[in-house]
Amino acid sequence: MAGKPSAPDLRVRRWEGGSWSESPDSVVMEEPLQLMLDGEPLSVVMRTPGADIELALGLLFAEGVLRSASDVKLVRISAEAGEREPALDVDASLMESNQVDVQLAVAPARKPERSMLSSSACGVCGAVMIEDLRRGLAPLAPGMMVDAAVIPPLADALRARQGVFEKTGGLHAAGLFSPAGELVCTREDVGRHNALDKVVGRALIDGKLPASSSLLVVSGRAGYEIVQKSITAGIPLLVAVGAPSSLAVALAREFNQTLIGFLRGSRFNVYSCPERLR
């Protein structure tokens, strides 16, 4: 199963009230992950270690490289990662840590244009042109309905599962919930899009994509890449604690996704498709 994010402790000098002191502090881990496809280097992803298999599969799904877990023949990873996935054939024999090699059973649904460096702030680094970001997206069906009263508690429900954030203040989170507000899956990462890729990777492994009966909650803002990845995963309702961008709103409206932002206490704004909310 997925590894847990860690928060190493260190000593820091602290200035407070006109004097210095020394105290322990926790910082979030950020390390590079070498993602390989069929043994060939594809991408270097800056991420918080843990759930690397989910992250790799979620990213490849978002990039259109694979469409289901059955496309995956083998996942190679180091024994040091300590990750196991009963639903996948996982080979923990890689000598180097911080590497994941996804080997496909079929030809990739879409061959990436080029290798890309993905930082913790960039969620669509594999795209070459703006038009390419819309590839494969289809309008979401009306379907799922949610009571408006379900939305306000979701931010606290997500925050309650952010164990590493409580120690460091430096991690984003993404969580899938049922229409009744029940938590299905949550993941943390230094990159908001990485947290979402991990959640989508989990759903992919569990055979739960498209996630047409789920809503997504993210701890930060709703940028274009969050909307794009969630539409790709078939998620009809996206809730962000922070603000959406203009491009995110335009994309949500174009592809019939309900986009909610500025979730604060009992208040939130609906930017697109309010008809899904009772």
Please identify every residue annotated as catalytic: 122
Q: Which one-letter amino acid corresponds to residue 16? A: E
Q: How many CB atoms lie within 10 A of CB 262?
A: 15
d(Cα 60, Cα 112) in Å, to the nearest integer? 9
Contacts of 110 (CB under 8 A, 6+ apart): 63, 64, 65, 135, 136
Residue with tokens 């309008």: 139
Which two three-digit tokens encode residue 98?
A: 């911080």
Please work out, in degrees rounded to the nearest 5, the angle formed at the alpha carbon of residue 64 by the alpha carbons of 210 and 192.
75
The 8-class DSSP code of residue 96 comes to S
d(Cα 158, Cα 183) in Å, to the nearest integer? 8
Q: Are 35 and 57 in contact (CB under 8 A)?
A: no
Q: Are 12 and 20 in contact (CB under 8 A)?
A: no
Q: How many CB atoms lie within 10 A of CB 166?
A: 12
Q: Which one-letter amino acid corresponds to residue 164? A: V
